[in-house]
A and B are shown apart, each in its own frame.
Chain A
Amino acid sequence: MEPNPGTLAGSISIRSDQEEAGFESLQFREEIQRLIAVPPENASSFTALLELPATQAMELLHSPHSEDGDPAPLSADSLHGISDDHKSYISSFNGNLAFPSNKALVERAAKFSVFASGENSPETSLVPSNSSANLEKVKSEPAETDSNPNSSQPLISDPTVESKTQRSAKRKEREKKGKGCTKKSKNETSKDAQKLPYVHVRARRGQATDSHSLAERARREKINARMKLLQELVPGCSKISGTALVLDEIINHVQSLQRQVEFLSMRLAAVNPGVDYNLEGLFATESGSLVESNFPSMVAPLVCPEIPFNGNRQHYQQQWHFDALQQPLWGREEASHTFINPENSLLSYDSANSASLHSNQLKMEL
């Protein structure tokens, strides 16, 4: 019985991607939710529930079999993962969460043999082990049960567990040993199994495989990934190294953006409120397409919408726009006093965007 998990762990060293088989995760998510939602019933109904995932698992097993051998281990992987899932539930039901690892091992080994023989009814072996199907316990301590198979059997790479864990709110890291394949003691896993579900982290070669350090590493990786995204977003941050300075830059950027918003809102408020009904026509066009500047009659005065805003060009465009805007406004007896001289400043808004806006507006007015 013992070598069975070992060989499996040794053979299956592929960690399926977390985003692999999205549809599978959907199916299993629903399945798991259904499992959780069902009120505690007796063993027979639980096995009835188990039938469904078993058949799904068999599907998984069979469908990639038509392909080459590579997916086969993966499917077997997921299959065993699924069986792990339910086995874990069962083990939890059994010992009332007293971590009957031996029992769990035995059950698991039994189920491996069952699956190895290709029987379609694993539930027959589950029935005797099912004293009370407490699905509530499953819900409250899925991590615990999931840790149980992990403790004695370091392989879990199925999309089900991963998808299930991703549904949960809180994350907790778990190790999954690749080559090192050291079986963690039950105590260690029981310690960190009190929390809610988890993500899978692979321990790299030459790194400490302590549960704490792995958790730390996973957390650090998460933080670093997000910091990288932020660095790309904030201009001038990619050169800076060190979290503190990058954070400084980020804070400055956010503050400057907020200040700009305030400044712009003040300007908008300062625009004469009588321009209200002028907004009707203007902003119908603005909200209209930003790309549909195919108003050929209007393009004539317009130089070219794609011209980036250099100083001079912008000057010309501004003047043209200025004239065009003035007329209709005066036509509506509204003189906005903020028609100041155009400044030669670069506008960082999309140049094509605003240029087409001008043309649209012109069309609307005339």
Chain B
Amino acid sequence: MASSISETNFEESKRIKRRKTGDELRDPDTIDHTRWRSESEQRIYSTKLVEAIRQVRRNSSPENKVSSGRDIRDAADGVLAVAAKGRTRWSRAILASRLRLRLAHNNMKHKKARVAKVTGSIRSKMPEKKRSIPALQRKAKVLSRLVPGCRKVSFPNLLEETTDYISALEMQVRAMAALTELLTGSPVDRLTSTSDS
């Protein structure tokens, strides 16, 4: 069957990838960034994505008729984080936040206790002082807010996380675009006109 063949391919590529990363130093610095481009990774991701979306549909249909885009997006991000195998900080942060949300949700449902939702450090800039924060640091802060879980990460590590995050996001976009195309039968137009490498 196709699945068995895919399984062996997947195993083999996984083995090869493992050997490659085993030879390098097991550093945070030497995470293999090209793994998000591999076929096997895409396959893994699409499988899990499908499963997750189906689950979202199943969960949401008794409550409300329509599964919101937000849920699907969270599911996709969760699956992406799982596919990252926890080697990167942003993936761990995504999974941790989902767990926290689920715990809070369960608490509210069962114990009817009001759990304060932790919304992260939203620093309200009360005094609108025009401080001359160096531009680089400002941009680094913005970037750290974009990448999940990287608020207090040093700059070089932040760059590392961003690299991995960008490759993962690109894979996610590709997979979801293919999925929508399959489902709807029409190609998806990219929002921006940036050409992929």
Seen from chain A, the residues whose Cβ lies within 8 Å of a Cβ on chain B are 18-19, 22, 25, 163, 166, 219, 222-223, 226-227, 229-230, 232-236, 243-244, 247-248, 250-251, 253-271, 273, 275-276, 279, 282-292, 309, 314, 318, 321-322, 325-326, 336, 338-343, 345-350, 353-354, 357, 360-361
Q: Chain B contact residues (Cβ within 8 angstroms of A): what range?
A: 35 or more
**Contact (Cβ within 8 A) B76 A261:** yes
**Is B194 engaged at the interface, CB distance under 8 Å to the other chain?**
yes
Check if A286 sits within 8 Å of B46, measured CB to CB: yes
Contacts of B66 in A (CB 8 A): 269, 273
Residues of chain B with a CB closer than 8 A to A349's CB = 174, 177-178, 181
Q: Does B82 contact A (CB under 8 A)?
A: no
Identity of the chain A residue whose Cβ is nearest the Cβ of B182 in the assembled complex: A282
Report how far A260 CA is from B174 CA in the complex, Å.
10
What number of A-B contacts does a CB cutoff of 8 Å give? 227
Chain A CB within 8 A of B95 CB: no
Given A248-B139, A268-B53, 13 extra CB contacts under 8 A: A226-B160, A233-B33, A257-B166, A257-B169, A261-B76, A262-B73, A264-B188, A268-B179, A279-B54, A288-B3, A290-B42, A321-B185, A345-B189
CB contact between A250 and one of B143, B160, B192 (< 8 Å): that residue? B143
- B67 on the interface (CB 8 Å rule)? yes
Of A244, A257, A289, which contacts B9 at CB under 8 A? A289
Which segment, of B20-28, B101-109, B112-120, B124-132, faces chain A? Answer: B20-28
- C-alpha spacing A276/B178, complex, angstroms: 17
Residues of chain B contacted by A269 (CB below 8 angstroms) = 66-69, 71-72
Contact B50 A288 (CB under 8 A): no
Find A235's partner among B53, B156, B197 (CB 8 Å cutoff). Answer: B197
Main secondary structure of the interface of A (DSSP, over half): helix
B73 x A325 contact (CB < 8 A): no
8 Å CB contact of A347 from B42, B177, B192: B177
Contacts from B to A (Cβ < 8 Å): 2-3, 5-6, 9, 23-25, 27, 33, 39, 42-43, 46-47, 50, 53-54, 57-58, 61, 65-73, 76-77, 135-136, 139-140, 142-143, 146-147, 155-156, 159-160, 162-163, 165-167, 169-170, 172-174, 176-192, 194-197
- Give the residue name and chain of the B residue nearest to A273 (CB): B57
Say whether B166 contacts A254, CB under 8 Å: yes
Q: Which residues of B contact A343 (CB under 8 A)?
A: 186-187, 189
Residues of chain B within 8 A of A233, CB atoms compared: 33, 163, 166-167, 197
Contact check, A254 vs B147: say whether CB atoms are below 8 A apart. yes
How far apart are the CA atoms of A314 and B188 in the complex, in Å?
A: 12
- Taking the nearest CB of chain A, how far is it from the CB of B22, in angstroms? 8
Q: Inside 8 A of B188's CB, which chain A residues have their CB? A: 264, 267, 345, 347
Cβ-defined partner of A336 (8 Å) among B73, B77, B184: B184
Residue pair B177, A264 in contact (C-beta under 8 Å): yes
CB–CB B180/A267 < 8 A: yes
30 sampled A-B residue pairs with Cβ under 8 A: A166-B25, A227-B159, A232-B197, A244-B139, A247-B139, A254-B143, A261-B73, A267-B180, A267-B184, A267-B188, A269-B67, A269-B71, A271-B183, A285-B2, A287-B47, A287-B50, A290-B42, A292-B2, A322-B185, A338-B183, A338-B185, A342-B187, A343-B187, A343-B189, A345-B188, A345-B190, A347-B181, A354-B178, A354-B181, A357-B182
A244 touches B136 (CB 8 A): yes
Say how far B31's CB is from chain A's closest CB, in angstroms. Answer: 11
Q: Which of A163, A256, A265 is packed against the most chain B CB atoms within 10 Å? A: A265
Tell me if B182 and A22 are in contact (CB < 8 A): no
Q: Do B190 and A348 have beta carbons less than 8 Å apart? A: yes
Nearest-Cβ distance from residue A294 to partner chain B, whole angstroms: 10
Q: With A226-B160, A248-B139 in contact, do A259 and B191 touch (Cβ < 8 Å)?
A: yes
Which residues of chain B have C-beta atoms less than 8 A from A267's C-beta? 69, 180, 184, 188
**A residues within 8 A CB of B159?**
223, 226-227, 229-230
Contacts of B143 in A (CB 8 A): 247, 250-251, 254
Task: Assess whether B176 is in contact with A265, with CB atoms less than 8 Å apart.
Answer: yes
Contact B50 A276 (CB under 8 A): no
Which listed residue (B9, B50, B176, B186) contacts A342, Cβ 8 A?
B186
A287 contacts B46, C-beta separation under 8 Å: yes
Cβ 8 A contact of A261, one of B50, B173, B178, B186: B173
Q: With CB as the reference atom, state the residue of chain A lying closest to B53.
A: A268
Q: Which residues of chain B have C-beta atoms less than 8 A from A318's C-beta?
A: 185-187
A259–B189 CA distance with the chains assembled, in angstroms: 13
| Known A-B contacts A286-B178, A349-B178; A258 and B191 likewise in contact (beta carbons under 8 Å) | no
Q: Chain B residues near A166 (CB, 8 Å)?
A: 25, 27
Provide the bound-state CA to CA distance between A232 and B59, in Å.
Answer: 41
- In the docked arrangement, what's the CA distance between A312 and B123, Å? 52
Q: Is the CB of A235 within 8 A of B163?
A: no
Cβ-closest 5 pairs across A and B: A266-B69, A265-B73, A226-B159, A288-B2, A287-B47
In the complex formed, the residue of B with least CB distance to A286 is B46
| CB-nearest residue of chain B to A219 | B156
